[in-house]
Amino acid sequence: MATIILGVCGSIAAYKAADVASRLVKLGHEVHCVCTPTALQFVTPLTLMTLSRNPVISTFEDETGSWVPVHIDLAQRADLLAIVPATANTMACMAQGFAPNALTSLYLANRAPVLIFPAMNGNMWNHPATQQNAGILLGRPGHRIIGPDDAGMLACGAEGQGRLVPVERIVDEILNELDGRL
């Protein structure tokens, strides 16, 4: 089975990453959650660790136990990196090559395919800066952006584009990407 890195960013939709991790583990995949520090304000490391059956990495201080930094080791072993949910901030860091945290550092070391599942306010998604960053990411080999959903009630109370695509679709997209690679 595959080694999947599940990047989790600080969005209200972060709780859905727990369901994604659980479903992938039940299918026999090795899942490692690497979270931005802000993601842990929305979902706990204990939840993600229990469901993924692996320690959660969110800071460089979490990287103990080996002489190889964990974010480098995981990047080298990854069959797929899925960012669920992806925030405008993390997408900007990825597009511009900034590495202020363990997830964005892992991204720069990663050579596996990257699936990006955005979730944010529709105005943030449609802002020219976010669209430019999305275009940069889409121009990189092996990168795909799935979503956000076109309509629905957002956590901020607005109606429209910006919601994370359904968990079922996320899992299907990950499995389809892996089928083409493994």
CA dihedral 50, 30, 37, 135 (to 10 degrees): -140
pTM over 0.85: yes
Decide if 93 is catalytic: no
Q: Which CATH number characterizes residue 98's domain?
A: 3.40.50.1950
**Domains in the chain, number:** 1
Residues 9, 35, 93, 156: which is the catalytic one? 156
Which residue range forms the structural domain that includes residue 98? Answer: 3-179
Query: Three-class SS of residue 4?
Result: strand
Per-residue pLDDT 10s for the chain (182 aa) are 999 999 999 999 999 999 999 999 999 999 999 999 999 999 999 999 999 999 999 876 665 666 566 778 898 999 999 999 999 999 999 999 999 999 999 999 999 999 999 999 888 999 999 999 999 999 999 999 999 977 665 565 666 677 899 999 999 999 999 996 65
